[in-house]
Amino acid sequence: MKKTIDEHAERFSEAASTYDDEQDSEAYHACARHVVDHAAPTARETVLDLGTGTGAIAFELTSTADCVIGRDISTGMLDEARMKASAENIENIKFAEGRFREPNLDSDTDVDIVTSNFAMHHLSDDEKREAITVISALEPDRFVLGDVMFFGSPDPEEPFYSPSVDDPATVGILTDALTDVGMAVTEVEFIHEQVGVIVAEQQ
Ligand SMILES: C[S@@+](CC[C@H](N)C(=O)[O-])C[C@H]1O[C@@H](n2cnc3c(N)ncnc32)[C@H](O)[C@@H]1O
């Protein structure tokens, strides 16, 4: 991790009010679309969206899921998400503070699907492994991870990320971490040489 959790939280809280309007890259929107499509919850399923931010993925899933739980470290991003839920009168969505390695769930919460979009790259590779262990322990049917990830060597002239604050992994490191906790990687979607979606299922 190149910044502490508090530093990341503060950075995102400062940017929260303009975050949605600033997501103008094709790769971000394509990645979000693939995460939503692969998550595909049914009306009986609960989704946990980690690093939910202002709820880009979480809101999309409310139309088909029973319930969507959004967790994030940034109070500013969560406030934006809650305002949208209230303005749109969406009741099957719940936002609260929580982090990848401590999602802050009630002990009786059964999670069917875990999603995460453009958030895990804030963790170091060791922390991503710890987060994947925590996610796997929730025993979801599948984990859909959309993120900045390297398919080859990233072009230093065109980083899709900010090297000073972001810490993306290679696709190989992510797939190894998922298979090491016993999940089966069933899809790897190439969106851009630095952006992809990985679907991992419980075996
Ligand atoms: C680029 S935003 C992505 C938000 C949303 N998922 C989307 O697709 O627009 C990254 C989010 O990850 C959150 N985040 C960063 N580190 C985190 C951690 N360790 N645990 C949970 N959320 C984290 C940030 O606060 C921020 O809201």
Domain CATH code at residue 83 = 3.40.50.150
The three-state DSSP-derived secondary structure of 86-154 is HHCCCCCEEEEECECCECCCCCCCCCCEEEEECCHHHCCHHHHHHHHHHHHHCCCCEEEEEEEEECCCC
What distance in Å separates the CA atoms of residue 203 and residue 195, rounded to the nearest whole number? 26
Please report the pLDDT score of residue 1 as a whole number. 64
Tens digit of pLDDT at every position of the chain (203 positions): 678 999 999 999 999 999 999 999 999 999 999 999 999 999 999 999 999 999 999 999 999 999 999 999 999 999 999 999 999 999 999 999 999 999 999 999 999 999 999 999 999 999 999 999 999 999 999 999 999 999 998 876 776 788 888 899 999 999 999 999 999 999 999 999 999 999 999 99
* 183 Cα–ligand 1 center, Å: 23
Is residue 19 within 8 Å of residue 53, measured between CB atoms?
yes
What distance in Å separates the CA atoms of residue 20 and residue 67, rounded to the nearest whole number? 22
What distance in Å separates the CA atoms of residue 146 and residue 189, rounded to the nearest whole number? 9
In a mutational test of the pocket of ligand 1, which residue from 74, 161, 166 has the highest number of ligand atoms less than 8 Å from its CB? Answer: 74
Please report the pLDDT score of residue 162 as a whole number. 86
Pocket of ligand 1 (CB under 6 A): 5, 8-9, 12, 32, 50-53, 56-57, 72-74, 77, 99-100, 117-119, 122-123
Q: At what angle do helices 75-87 and 5-22 cross, to 10 degrees?
A: 40
Burial class (CB in 10 A: 0-12, 13-18, 19+), 112: buried
Please report the pLDDT score of residue 97 as a whole number. 98
* 44 Cα–ligand 1 center, Å: 26
Shortest-distance atom of ligand 1 to CA 11? 25
In a mutational test of the pocket of ligand 1, which residue from 6, 18, 118, 134 has the highest number of ligand atoms less than 8 Å from its CB? Answer: 118
Shortest-distance atom of ligand 1 to CA 35? 8
State the total domains in the chain.
Answer: 1
The three-state DSSP-derived secondary structure of 62-73 is CCCCCEEEEEEC
* 52 Cα–ligand 1 center, Å: 6
Containing structural domain, residue 196: 5-202
Q: At what angle do helices 171-180 and 125-137 cross, to 10 degrees?
A: 40
Shortest-distance atom of ligand 1 to CA 116? 6
Q: Which residues contact 62 (CB under 8 A, 6 or more apart)?
A: 68, 90, 92, 93
Per the confidence metrics, is the pTM higher than 0.75? yes
